[in-house]
Structure 1
Amino acid sequence: MGNEAGTTTGGKYVEPGGEFTRDQRYIATRITADGRDGYPVEPGRYRLVVSRACPWANRMIIVRRLLGLEEALPMAVAGPTHDARSWTFDLDPDGRDPVLGIERLADAFFARFPGYERGITVPAIVDVPTGQVVTNDYAQMTLDLSTEWTAYHREGAAQLYPEALRAEIDEVNAVVFADVNNGVYRCGFAGSQEAYEKAYRRLFDRLDWLSDRLANQRYLVGDTITEADVRLFTTLVRFDPVYHGHFKCNRQKLSEMPVLWAYARDLFATPGFGDTIDFDHIKRHYYEVHRDINPTGVVPLGPDLVNWLSPHGREALGGRPFGDGTPPPPPPPGEQVPPEHTPIG
């Protein structure tokens, strides 16, 4: 995924004989209102690089939409697959990002850190004047959009990380990351039966816990959408197209877990969520890139997506999706997902 990049198409993702361990060493530089790391918040100065395939990058796309930061933080979309030399801008004319002028995200990493040896990952934010990467610390990046970019939030932007709920949001995020967001990867990249079974049980135990939590409340923390919902959603939306089969997370499909399926459809129907999802890019990435799991590179045609638009009934639980705020407007021109890649079309 975004946070596996740097290995080859046809490369190795599975840890032979053991558990998958995610490399958590990211560039910790932050873009802040006071500029204490040397990078102050400035509208138009930076470029957010994402892939719609990646769940970690998808978080940034959603949060940026909900907060209305499209003009303040322009976005570059890399293609759904990558090779040993990182994500490429193959969706753009001439295969170059039109603003940064580069063919590969790696160029921005090497511009700041010659000889950089860690993963070239999305999401990443690049400083346009210097062409240098600023950060790829995805967990902090969405929080900073909520807390450091407030001067440029749209009128009516939701409070995704409200101070009164931060401790609980952080607590939920920690277990969801360990057991679900990263848990599906620990299943898929397990190198032994023992490691796989341990990861599988941990994943579904947490999904059962989440089902219980969400049975009587519409959102994960409080009665509005928060950062916690964004982080869970990007894994759930990939569950049936990818994780159930490709990663062997197959006790049940998401569509066979009634509470989580309704919860995911509720969010999918919410402006800023479903309209960021490109199911074609998601499937192409996992099935084409992970050749040690799927040697043929054949991408499955299913599952049928029409059920994503079926009634979810979660309104009966109450809740106010955007709190005292308002839904975001439709995606700006040039940022819409192609209609053939989504059931919304």
Structure 2
Amino acid sequence: MADAATYTDKGKPFERDMTYIPDRLRAGDEPADPLEGAYGADPDAPSWPVEPGRYRLVAAKACPWANRAIIVRNLLGLEDVISLGMPGPTHDARSWTFDLDPGGVDPVLGIERLQEAYFNRVPDYPRGITVPAIVEVETVKVVTNDFPWITHDFFFEWREHHRADAPDLWPADSREEMEAVMKRVFTEVNNGVYRCGFAGSQEAYDAAYERLFAALDWLEKRLTDRRYLMGEAITEADVRLFTTLARFDAVYHGHFKCNRNKLIEMPALWGYARDLFQTPGFGETIDFEQIKAHYYRVHTDVNPTGIVPQGPDESGWTTPHGRG
């Protein structure tokens, strides 16, 4: 997400703007997801057809919300049907830019700024230019930036294009419990670290801090006697938690003042995070240098000097996790 646009007014708690372009990519012949209506999807949102090669996922490695989409694309084997464009880790108030590509231009979309794809769809688009975003290649128009539903639809709507051994990221027998777990992970952990980092007052920060670590303690306990959040198999819930855990010690502990303890000091969570990091599809999407550059350079209100720390030591991520 374009976090520079989400700072909180002084004295107020942080609130994330969750208004996105609601369009969906739908296969048409897939049965409707029975739980969609309960979890925020707009049933009347415009639909775009599932069509290999038609869309490009634009997702910066630096961003945890975009990182989810990259991981799910990898796990499901969608690399050959949905291309991937990756902006650099830093951006200004206008937009993410493709400064990692030759000439600073995305080689497929032919644009320098993701903002161009938004403006092609909605001239003078008034909200933040966020990642992940699905862009139609031919028109270079953004289709949707509704990040929770992008990964949902990768699973449910693109099944015909999954690889044969793709994991069942949304198991039917535990779906309702998983939705509840993901809701708590989002509100208290994924968003909780931002609630700490962008708190507009001491009171707001203190409350956010207590909420975050209460949730991390709950997760530590939950993961003490199970390998993954829902049991013995990886699900979407694990993807959503992992991207925050991967950034915790490098960014959130210091930059966002989430400093009761580090991830490496929570045995179950640290083992769990290493287990996922070492699973194909996860660890290769993590670039700690890009992550640190994004947070420490873009969030100038939090870190006005722009200095990027050298640590922490990353070697622990590849040590045995003991959770097999």
TM interval, shorter chain, is over 0.9
Alignment gaps of 5+ in structure 2: 30-44
Provide the rounded CA distance (Å) in 1 between the counterparts of 2:291 and 2:221: 28
Q: Of residues 240, 257, 260 in structure 2, which corresponds to 1:248?
A: 257
Alignment gaps of 5+ in structure 1: 316-345
Give the equivalent residue in structure 1 for 2:35: none
Q: Normalization by structure 2: what TM-score?
A: 0.93
8 Å CA contact 2:22–2:46 kept in 1: the answer is no
Provide the rounded CA distance (Å) in 1 between the counterparts of 2:3 and 2:304: 18
Give the equivalent residue in structure 2 for 1:273: 282
Q: Of residues 18, 27, 31 in structure 1, which corresponds to 2:21?
A: 27
After superposition, the Cα gap between the structure-2 partners of 1:38 and 1:175, relative to the gap in structure 1 and judged at 3 Å, is closer
One-letter amino acid of the structure 2 residue matched with residue 60 of structure 1: A
Provide the rounded CA distance (Å) in 2 between the counterparts of 1:99 and 1:139: 25
Map residues 212-227 of structure 1 onto 2, 5 A cutoff: 212-227=221-236
Cα deviation for residue 130 of structure 1 reads 1.2
Give the equivalent residue in structure 2 for 1:340: none
Percent of aligned positions that are identical:
64
Per-residue CA distance 1:22-79 (angstroms, 9 max, x = gap):
0000111000101983410000000000100000000001000000000100000000
Cα deviation for residue 276 of structure 1 reads 0.8
The two structures, once aligned, show a CA RMSD in angstroms of 1.2
Q: Normalization by structure 1: what TM-score?
A: 0.88
Give the equivalent residue in structure 2 for 1:125: 134
Per-residue CA distance 1:59-109 (angstroms, 9 max, x = gap):
001000000000100000000011011100011111111111111001111
Cα deviation for residue 3 of structure 1 reads 4.6
Partner-residue secondary structure (3-state), 2:131: coil
Q: Of residues 223, 248, 258 in structure 2, which corresponds to 1:239?
A: 248
Matched, 1:18 2:17: no
One-letter amino acid of the structure 2 residue matched with residue 88 of structure 1: T
One-letter amino acid of the structure 2 residue matched with residue 127 of structure 1: E
8 Å CA contact 2:3–2:299 kept in 1: the answer is no
Give the equivalent residue in structure 1 for 2:195: 186
Per-residue CA distance 1:206-255 (angstroms, 9 max, x = gap):
00000111100001013200000000000000000000000000000001
Give the equivalent residue in structure 1 for 2:32: none
Off by >6 Å, runs of 4+ in structure 1 = none
Cα deviation for residue 13 of structure 1 reads 2.3
8 Å CA contact 2:2–2:95 kept in 1: the answer is no
Map residues 1-345 of structure 1 onto 2, 5 A cutoff: 2-4=1-3, 7=5, 13-34=7-28, 37-315=46-324
Provide the rounded CA distance (Å) in 1 between the counterparts of 2:155 and 2:47: 19
Provide the rounded CA distance (Å) in 1 between the counterparts of 2:180 and 2:68: 18
8 Å CA contact 1:14–1:292 kept in 2: the answer is no
Provide the rounded CA distance (Å) in 1 between the counterparts of 2:171 and 2:265: 33
8 Å CA contact 1:50–1:58 kept in 2: the answer is yes
8 Å CA contact 1:76–1:97 kept in 2: the answer is yes
Partner-residue secondary structure (3-state), 2:57: strand
8 Å CA contact 1:165–1:222 kept in 2: the answer is no
Provide the rounded CA distance (Å) in 1 between the counterparts of 2:208 and 2:262: 17
Partner-residue secondary structure (3-state), 1:48: strand
Give the equivalent residue in structure 1 for 2:39: none
Provide the rounded CA distance (Å) in 1 between the counterparts of 2:25 and 2:202: 42
Cα deviation for residue 115 of structure 1 reads 1.8
Cα deviation for residue 201 of structure 1 reads 0.2
8 Å CA contact 1:288–1:297 kept in 2: the answer is yes
Q: State how many pairs are aligned.
A: 309
Provide the rounded CA distance (Å) in 1 between the counterparts of 2:131 and 2:92: 14
Provide the rounded CA distance (Å) in 1 between the counterparts of 2:141 and 2:124: 14
Partner-residue secondary structure (3-state), 2:51: coil
One-letter amino acid of the structure 1 residue matched with residue 3 of structure 2: E
Partner-residue secondary structure (3-state), 2:208: helix
Cα deviation for residue 163 of structure 1 reads 2.0
Per-residue CA distance 1:182-225 (angstroms, 9 max, x = gap):
00000000010000000000000000000111100001013200
